[in-house]
Amino acid sequence: MAGASSSVKSSRPLGKATRDAFGRALEALGESYGKLVVVDADVGNSTRTEWFGLKYPDRFFNVGIAESNQVGVAAGLAAAGHTALVSSFAAFIVCNAYDQLRMSVAYPRLNVKVVGSHAGISIGEDGASQMGIEDVSLACSLPGFVVMVPADETSAKAATAAMLAHEGPVYLRVGRPDVPKIYDADAPFTIGKANKLADGKDVTIVANGLMVAPALEAAEALASQGISARVLDMHTVKPIDRDALAAAAKDTGAIVVAEEHLAHGGLGSVVAMNVAEIHPVPIRYVNLHDSFGESGSPEALIEAYGLTAAKVAEAAKAVVAAKKS
Amino acid sequence: MKGVRKNVSESIESLKALARELRKDILKMTTEAGSGHPSSSMSAVEVVTALYFGGFLKFDGKNPKAADRDRFILSKGHAAPVLYAALAHKGVFPHEELMTLRKFGSRLEGHPNMLRLAGIEASTGSLGQGLSVGVGYALAARLAKNGSHTYVMTGDGELGQGQIWEAAASAGKYQLDNLTCIVDRNGYQQTGSALDVLNMDPIDGKFAAFGWATQVINGNDLEEVIDALKRAKATKGRPTCIVSLTKKGFGMLKLLSKLKDENFHGKPMPAKHLEEALAEVEAGLG
């Protein structure tokens, strides 16, 4: 079902999937990045690298369903002076080829861009085997990697450009379903700098990827109940924006982290590690617990696994109460 | 600087003398380090000598980052001492630096680290990864049309890694005649005979099935190695695999037999046996 599309329910207008925005951006940037090459593991029509491949066939190599070799080949191309991009499902490119990312890319700090698509439970029907829910944690554990999780089509496009402009290894996480629009076309995007989407004084919701839209919805709902919530789009997990976290902790005294990822090692872990050091405040988490996903519609799974605006608002109320006690 | 060589064909006798020097370097630096893999390094000496000093590898020790250079990737990274010895004799760094092997702050780490030292074309040591990097280099050379050739040396135990065969298939797909893989078939791996641990024979047959030209040679015979590399270079339309039949610890086989340890894996020659080992290498009897 490579070409099929699905969408996530939201009160906000729908935009394209982040994988689609990435694919179009890559295709467009192929012209100015003459040394850009793409190594595919036979999923280019799912990850959308095929659009680059159709336009630049001499710079596109499909090495088959073999992610370990895919990453190694990209390392060689990068060592020879290319910007080498590899893409597959997040579950496969990160988990299958982890030692290659570690040894052939991270250790020699080569200019390899790793794009994991179909991240999270929002891919829906294909089920747990295809759902990368640990990819951010693993990517953050690779020394020297930048790790980005954009929220919508505009930020995915900007993240793709930032990734190519950055010298060194990058992991970019993109998703399968069409997702709500968060940004206007000219919105700022800087690696390592969180975007403040709403300001507030009682609690800060730190979110990325699919959870940014529910975070904004939750903030609106909380406002009507007298709770003023700041919302940060923490699109870069590594390096994390410590200044934004410090300000959030000091200004609002309570934090909720929302992400479509396992609790262990994701944005929540990174935020907790930093806030504990800078300015400890109560934190609550909306994420995936210690289990795999399963088949179902994206909508059903998002509801069942609690990645909703209602759950974010609930967590915010709990953490505000904890702050006062 | 001691021992700097030009990258031109030299007579077989002088190459053999150089091979003996590399073996002595390997023994001395690992004994000094107190750890390392001298026997795994010594099996590969003839291939490395022929590549760097027999006129095959387009590589200038004084300009080791030249864009159109040929590449040698030591995928069996534990044999790092043979690579370091060759790079020292190419003038990449002072010969005496070999004695810093494995010490804190040295560029000569236990396994090759390309960030630390020019002339290392891939950071290796996690087995199975070098051939894929070689495919990447070969594709890049094709895009650049610069005539660069990439040589990759793997171990035989290393062939148990599935990634090797992913890489072999992709090199076959792209008909990379600017890629040569040399399998240093020294017959032993960490815990014993390579055939007993995991039989990957026939190695040449497997590569052939993926579209490679193949040769099986005595890899401790310099003339055979040189002929094989010439044939590999002349092969068009497909990559070449040279199955290089060697002896682990070649150059000190008598001593290893006396020590009742033909494998001698992952340990330096104790200082008390070093002189005997060096004398056997100098005698050049195998």
Q: Are residues A24 and A166 in the same domain?
A: yes
Q: Are residues A70 and A176 in the same domain?
A: yes
Regarding predicted confidence, which is higher, A7 or B247? B247
Report the CATH number that the domain containing residue A303 is assigned in CATH: 3.40.50.920
Q: Does B68 touch chain A (CB under 8 A)?
A: no
Catalytic center residues of A = 67
Q: Are residues A31 and A146 in the same domain?
A: yes
| CB spacing of A76 vs B163 below 8 angstroms | no
Give backbone dihedrals phi and psi of B189, rounded to 5 degrees, phi first: -130, -170
Residue B140 confidence (pLDDT): 98
Residue with tokens 């036979």: A42
Average of pLDDT values for A285-289?
A: 97
Q: Are residues A127 and A200 in the same domain?
A: no
Q: Are residues A124 and A239 in the same domain?
A: no
Run of H or E including A155: helix A153-165
Residue A59 lies in a domain: yes
Domain B12-283 matching CATH 3.40.50.970: the answer reads yes
Give the chain B residue nearest A77 (alpha carbons): B136
- Helix spans in A242-306 (H): 242-252, 267-278, 298-304
Q: Is the pLDDT of residue A5 over 70?
A: no
Q: Does B145 touch chain A (CB under 8 A)?
A: no
Can you read off the two tokens belonging to residue A255?
């934090």
Residue A325 confidence (pLDDT): 79
Q: Each residue of A166-215: pLDDT tens digit?
A: 999 999 999 999 999 999 998 889 999 999 999 999 999 999 999 999 99
Residue A217 to chain B, least CA–CA distance (Å): 46
Q: Each residue of A65-83: pLDDT tens digit?
A: 999 999 999 999 999 999 9
Q: Is the pLDDT of residue A48 over 90?
A: yes
Q: Does B154 touch chain A (CB under 8 A)?
A: no
Q: Does B18 touch chain A (CB under 8 A)?
A: no
What mean pLDDT value characterizes chain B? Answer: 95
Cβ contact B103:B116 at 8 Å: no
Residue A2 confidence (pLDDT): 45
Q: Each residue of A146-163: pLDDT tens digit?
A: 999 999 999 999 999 999
Q: Are residues A137 and A74 in the same domain?
A: yes
| CB spacing of A68 vs B163 below 8 angstroms | yes
Give the chain B residue nearest A108 (alpha carbons): B115
Q: Does A101 touch chain B (CB under 8 A)?
A: no
| CB spacing of A107 vs B113 below 8 angstroms | yes
Residue A45 lies in a domain: yes
Please tell me the total count of domains within chain A. 2
- Indicate the residue of A80, A107, A108 with minimum beta-carbon distance to B137: A80
Can you read off the two tokens belonging to residue A311?
């759950």
Residue B16 confidence (pLDDT): 96
Q: Are residues A149 and A280 in the same domain?
A: no
Give the chain B residue nearest A96 (alpha carbons): B163
| CB spacing of B170 vs A73 below 8 angstroms | yes
Task: Determine which of B123, B127, B146, B151 to mutate to test the interface with A (most A C-beta atoms within 10 Å).
Answer: B123
**ipTM for this model:** 0.95
CA distances to B26, B82, B111 from B22, rounded to whole Å, are: 6, 7, 17
Average of pLDDT values for B229-254?
A: 98
The helix-helix angle for A67-79 and B162-173 (nearest 10°) equals 60
Residue A4 lies in a domain: no
Give the chain A residue nearest B131 (alpha carbons): A72
How far is Cα A71 from Cα A69, in angstroms, rounded to an integer?
Answer: 5
Q: Does A80 touch chain B (CB under 8 A)?
A: yes
Q: Are residues A238 and A155 in the same domain?
A: no
Q: What is the DSSP string of B221-280?
A: -HHHHHHHHHHHHH--SS-EEEEEE--TTTT-HHHHHHTT-SS-TT-PPPHHHHHHHHHH
Can you read off the two tokens belonging to residue A244?
């934004």
- Indicate the residue of A71, A77, A107 with minimum beta-carbon distance to B140: A77
Task: Say which amino acid occupies A317.
Answer: K
How far is Cα A289 from Cα B198, in angstroms, rounded to an integer?
Answer: 40
Nearest one of A6, A291, A14, A27 to A133, comparing CA atoms: A291
Residue with tokens 């994206």: A298
Residue A311 lies in a domain: yes
Residue B202 to chain A, least CA–CA distance (Å): 22
Q: Are residues A37 and A168 in the same domain?
A: yes
Q: Which domain holds residue A303?
A: 195-324
Residue B1 confidence (pLDDT): 39
Confidence of residue A7 (pLDDT cuts 50, 70, 90): confident
* % residues pLDDT > 90 (chain B): 95
Give the chain A residue nearest B69 (alpha carbons): A80
Q: Are residues A30 and A141 in the same domain?
A: yes
Q: Which of A115, A146, A180 is the last residue of a domain?
A: A180
The residues facing A213 across adjacent strands are none
Q: Does B162 touch chain A (CB under 8 A)?
A: yes
| CB spacing of A72 vs B137 below 8 angstroms | no
